[in-house]
A and B are shown apart, each in its own frame.
Chain A
């Protein structure tokens, strides 16, 4: 146990926790927009998987991580739009329809991978960026300011999302539509338009999250996300539909994951236990969810399709 509590290991654990939090943070931030407007998209994991494959394959072919990320955005936007058509226009049961998107993403990403790539070939990862000045701070600099660019982007999106949701007209419309769509509609706010936008943003962010995950790891494989998309949905509840809360949840999950990884590497956990230990992040997330999330009220119109005049 003592070998864990060395400065180097602790710093590495924190830094890798932050890194592991990134895909979750991106996906759950995106899902926050949708849910604040009243739409639950259970297909996040499927969108992440297709975004991951799209990103990976693009990097494999072009050797350009930014094109890979752009592909993730593209895939995410398209699948986000599909989700919006299903849940907003067709008014499907949101607790079920998203599972269809998930299964589609799970199967399609693997099929494409088998057909187009076959054997896993590693690709290049995001460039690192040591923030000048800040990265030289002892300990803290190593933990926080020596990451790849995508990490800064993901965490930068937290205050931006807070600002958009709380301080802009668009954000006010999102909150109104998620809480009382009839009232918003009666004042001329287009419920359909707002929900299309938020669900598409959610899809886009899930696509980015998937691409970021694949490019960060430099590989793709079947079910690469390992249900992180579902964890991301849980984190939106955990974070009480607020970007800062979602970030806290993502970090918690990232840290627990990274500590378990370190324990395994250092041999603190016996090899035979490692499968059980791998469940720890999920278990801890569920526990936190049960204990914390109940205290906050969800958007009143969450999962309820809107029809005018009823």
Chain B
């Protein structure tokens, strides 16, 4: 039903898509696989009219079409579920669905009729939703249903799903896949964008792999394996899970008792949370995003006020101490926002590395910065952590996500911390860098650091953790040993089901 031929798109300094051919048949799921920046989103934005291709043609059911805007795309029965939901939080479900469509009642909205049709679609595809609910009240999984209903309501025959599983629990993913299969049974064509290999293998009929803007492989799902796909994505063999030598689990290095923390909206984001992390272990924190992970990590780092409870690092009380003081007690913190609070975009690599040490006597000379010592320190870390940068004076923003992350990791681990809190350490970085970061975390574990790794990527949690704790609504709902844990068990806890 869809044929994209020879699509080329250039951005200043980047060839985002280079002569890409892509087809979708009615009734199939065609997956677009590739690392961040490989050009998947660009290709889909061209199809949906958000970008214009520099070269190439698009055919729908054999006819050449021009798609200049989302309106054109919708008119051609193309729908898109964006990675970041395109919902107006202050409007109701029905209003969100009706937005942009003419009303049966002229100038007035006709939400009753819209609601009726929503319930009809919801019934048919198993997407239970209350049309009158205001979107901000809905959970993430429900919001996604609204997005799907929006597309179905516009009779999308070709549906683009941009990383739709990123925010779902494993059970919600299963449920989503059932709905998607029902849609292909109706003869719709789906384009599935993902980098989670096991999901790609579970859902796809065909898989196209993009790397640096060009197609590096197009295969049917039969015969494809995680390793073969990763090879096409990266261009070399990669280890998807690091080797983890056994280590002696030591004393409690991080102890959290009854911790409560407020969220940004004045809500209780963390409610009486208890947790212990031992020296020499990696404790994975699994959970759907927004369940208090960020607030907990910030409270540990002294960046957010704890309203109750206590935090001890290496046996020393650090609750509500200043961030500098917490660090002095042995905490290192890799934040989830690389360029938001992990590094300063316009600062050079060297300056970013110095950020936590700028008052350290080793880098000072008569109260002024000692640039020679700083340079040596930076060069050593850049080299040791394989940060790919032209010079140590290059602004951090010019580095790739993976290299920024390696730079942050180098800085945080340089002092051999007692406790390392790593939030989403590999989110959005390429597989090669992720592989390296994982290796580093395992090395740090061997050096007896207690590591708390917060991740929304269950593959990562399973690959690295010694124990897995699940956070739900600001509490640890259960902790299981990695050896005995199953995805189903973790998934249920992520959805709030307490273990027996």
Contact = CB atoms under 8 A, between A and B. Distances in A.
B91 A179 contact: yes
Determine the main DSSP class of B at the interface with A: loop
Nearest to A308: B50
Nearest to B106: A169
B107 A169 contact: yes
B108 A180 contact: no
A189 B99 CA distance: 7
A142 B71 CA distance: 55
A182 B86 CA distance: 7
Interface in A177-208: 179-180, 182-189
Interface in B107-128: 107-109
In this complex, the interface size class of chain B, counting residues with CB under 8 Å from chain A, is: 20 to 34
A168 B100 contact: no
Given A184-B88, A184-B100, A300-B89, A168 B71 contact: no
Interface in B62-77: 69-71, 74
A61 interface: no
A241 to B, nearest CB: 10
Given A184-B100, A187-B100, A187-B150, A170 B107 contact: yes
B107 A172 contact: no
Contact of B86 (A173, A175, A186): A186
A172 B107 CA distance: 11
Contacts of B150: 187
A180 B88 contact: yes
A300 to B, nearest CB: 7
B45 interface: yes
B80 interface: yes
B93 to A, nearest CB: 13
Contacts of B334: none
Contacts of A79: none
Given A172-B95, A180-B87, A309-B45, A188 B109 contact: no
B70 A172 contact: no
Contacts of B74: 187-188
B99 A187 contact: yes
A167 interface: yes
Interface string B45-64: 10010110000000000000
Determine the main DSSP class of A at the interface with B: helix
A170 B106 CA distance: 11
A173 B99 CA distance: 7
Contact of B109 (A167, A185, A189): A167
A231 interface: no
Given A172-B98, A187-B74, A179 B107 contact: no
B439 interface: no
A149 to B, nearest CB: 26
Contact of B89 (A170, A180, A186, A187): A180
A177 to B, nearest CB: 9
Max count, chain A CB within 10 A of own CB: residue among B82, B88, B95, B109: B88
A21 interface: no
B103 interface: yes
Contacts of B82: 186
Contact of A309 (B50, B96, B103): B50
A188 B67 CA distance: 12
A188 B70 CA distance: 6
A175 B107 contact: no
Q: Which 10 A-B residue pairings sit nearest by Cβ, starting from the closest?
A: A187-B100, A188-B71, A183-B86, A188-B100, A176-B88, A180-B88, A186-B86, A189-B100, A179-B88, A309-B50
21 contacts: A167-B108, A167-B109, A168-B107, A171-B109, A172-B99, A172-B109, A173-B100, A175-B88, A175-B90, A176-B91, A176-B99, A179-B89, A179-B91, A186-B70, A186-B82, A186-B86, A187-B70, A187-B86, A188-B74, A189-B99, A309-B50
